[in-house]
Structure 1
Amino acid sequence: MVATILVGMLCAHLLCFAVMFLLISKRLHGKTMGMDFFAVGNLLLGLAYVLQLLEGGPAWSVMSVVNHTFTLASPVVFWLGAMRFFGHAVPLWRPLLAVVVAYTSLQVLVQWSLGPVARYAMLSGMSALLFLVMASTVVYGVRTFAKDLYAEMVFFAALISGISVLNAIKFLKLLQGGLVALQMDANFQLVFYIYMSFLATVLPPSIVWLVLRRLTDELRHQAARDPMTQLLNRRGLTDALKQHFNARHAGAAHLLLIDVDHFKHINDTYGHQAGDAVLCHVAQVLQATVRRGDLAGRIGGEEFAAICLDADAVGVVHLAERLRGAMERQAIPVDGSDQPLRCTITVGVSPAFVGAQALDGAMREADAALYRGKAAGRNRVEVALNPHDQALLAALNASAAQQTDAIG
């Protein structure tokens, strides 16, 4: 009686969450993150347990065959749903149909050749194997594609390992004691159904939590990025800089402000489409030039920024000169024009600063240097330094001149 109540509750949980997953997938408008797959998996498993209740015990019937097929197909669908969640465009119905046809045929073959015990043992053994592979995949994901979900993946691996172990024990009990091991109120079956009820209660909300976390992460990512160039915006630069300075042993940073020379003239002459192409080209060159770990962003209009972390002043000016030279050398194809477009940039470099709260001051100093560079003729790097840094300024100017000669 207790086992029957547990299985009934399990059916209710699975079928209700199947409907909930389906509704959530409809609200996600195309990017379902596997929620439609999880709905199908819950539906299959819920129907399998409904059929088990209707059967009343081990039997050889169409209902029993369908029950076993749905039971084995559900973890396959959950696995496919997990792949969809992590961005793999896997199909659902073709693999599911293949599993249904193959396992139904295998059940008939095993029943006729080895008997009912072998058929029930086959279901437990293959379920144990499937869940073991799933748990292993989750553990692998912790080290590779799901590093940002470390705690959640460890939790899932533990739960999936538990159901794998229980199915393995059921497999051994069937081999040793036959179908008696499947009696509804046997102690092991009670433990099995309690654990399955626990999973049906805990796992679906956990999956919803993962989807909500992924959605909020994407919203946070979009809020921190410029939509055209996918570089960091002002907010993204500030947040990333805070993370840098919150780390232990964080060194000083330098800010580079980059402005496209005569950008209004480019827009007026070639059109806004060409202007957009120039902005995207500057973004590509900027990303290719900054060092790994540095921050690159677009802070408005034709103005870009780079924050060089843990860099000395001479190295920062060398980087700014490489950026300026790369922009000067590279041509930008323009639709509707036989001649590629060439443009230059002016770069203002701030003094070293420490702490995210010092970014506004660095912005002002780099901006002042940028406008001095524009007043001096554009297509140049201008460095902002404190008055007592004249010796360093001379060294930086000499280094910049050497870099410019090398580029020429």
Structure 2
Amino acid sequence: MLPLAAGWSVHGWWLRGRLHRARRDPLTGLVTRDGFTHRARKLLKDPAAIVVLADVDHFKQINDRHGHAAGDALLKAVADRLAHYVGRDGVAGRLGGDEFAAVLRDRDGTAADLLAVLHSMLARPVNHLDAAVRTTVSLGWVRAGDFPGEDLPALLRRADESMYAAKQQRTGPRRAGAGVGRLFATLAGRRAGRRGARTKGTPGVVA
């Protein structure tokens, strides 16, 4: 029985390793959408949790001007900085392309100031070969406690709307439900702005 038990133990270790790798983005090392969702839902049980979305501005132009290797270096730098900022008590993930998400706890109520620091940190130039790759990063965020009963997809949508409003106005981090006129862009409007698209009806959910 001992060899059989040892065999199952090794097999379990192998499976856990495969699951871990499957939930990691190969470029940045951040968790993928599935891994992010799994961890974020646990963190959102705390009303002090905040959801953050970050999007690299003008990423296509950066690839066109500096090459895809420079674009990859920029994404890796953004991911490293975001993961360092979030730390072990939160989670940072790459949702796809140049879009990142994070959930962390704000027990002191200073999220606006802290995210202003993060905004500046993410926008620092990245050195690639002999060139400094420069860009800005748009941030949107929402506090879970401001919208009790809303799940992760709904909170991500609110953060997404705020992020796009910040991108359109080239402002710093924008909080969902705050700001002059409660400025919101719909997700449909966001997609239309990015792709010149086209649909009408109920906006989808980012999750």
> When the two structures are superposed, what TM-score results if normalisation uses the length of structure 1?
0.41
State how far apart, in whole Å, the 2-side matches of 1:316 and 1:220 are. Answer: 33
State how far apart, in whole Å, the 1-side matches of 2:161 and 2:42 are. Answer: 27
Equivalent residue number for residue 234 of structure 1: 33
Shift of 1:317: 2.1
What residue identity is the alignment partner of 1:349? W
Cα pair 1:231 1:297 within 8 Å, conserved: yes
Equivalent residue number for residue 21 of structure 2: 222
Shift of 1:332: 1.2
| 1:266 maps to 2:62 | yes
| 1:293 maps to 2:89 | yes
Cα pair 1:242 1:356 within 8 Å, conserved: no
Q: 1:295 to 1:356 in 2, by over 3 A?
A: farther
Q: Where do 4+ consecutive residues of structure 1 move more than 3 Å?
A: 242-246, 353-357
State how far apart, in whole Å, the 2-side matches of 1:264 and 1:356 are. Answer: 37
Shift of 1:334: 1.5
Q: 1:300 to 1:356 in 2, by over 3 A?
A: farther
Residue of 126, 141, 144 corresponding to 1:332: 126
Equivalent residue number for residue 370 of structure 1: 163
What residue identity is the alignment partner of 2:29? Q
Structure with greater contact order relative to length (CA < 8 Å, sep ≥ 6): 2
**For 1:159-212, what per-residue CA distance to the aligned partner results, in whole angstroms no more than 9, with x for missing partners?**
xxxxxxxxxxxxxxxxxxxxxxxxxxxxxxxxxxxxxxxxxxx21111111111
Shift of 1:239: 1.0
5+ residue gaps, structure 2: 183-207
Which structure's CA Rg is the greater one? 1
Cα pair 1:241 1:356 within 8 Å, conserved: no
5+ residue gaps, structure 1: 1-201, 391-408
* Higher helix proportion: 1
Q: Percent identity?
A: 34
What residue identity is the alignment partner of 1:323? L
State how far apart, in whole Å, the 2-side matches of 1:278 and 1:256 are. Answer: 19
Equivalent residue number for residue 203 of structure 1: 2
Cα pair 2:140 2:176 within 8 Å, conserved: yes
Q: 1:287 to 1:223 in 2, by over 3 A?
A: same
Q: 1:384 to 1:245 in 2, by over 3 A?
A: closer
State how far apart, in whole Å, the 2-side matches of 1:285 and 1:245 are. Answer: 22
The count of aligned residue pairs is 179
Residue of 82, 95, 99 corresponding to 1:303: 99
SS at match of 1:348: strand
> When the two structures are superposed, what TM-score results if normalisation uses the length of structure 2?
0.77
SS at match of 1:324: helix
Shift of 1:327: 2.5
- After superposition, the CA RMSD in angstroms is 2.4
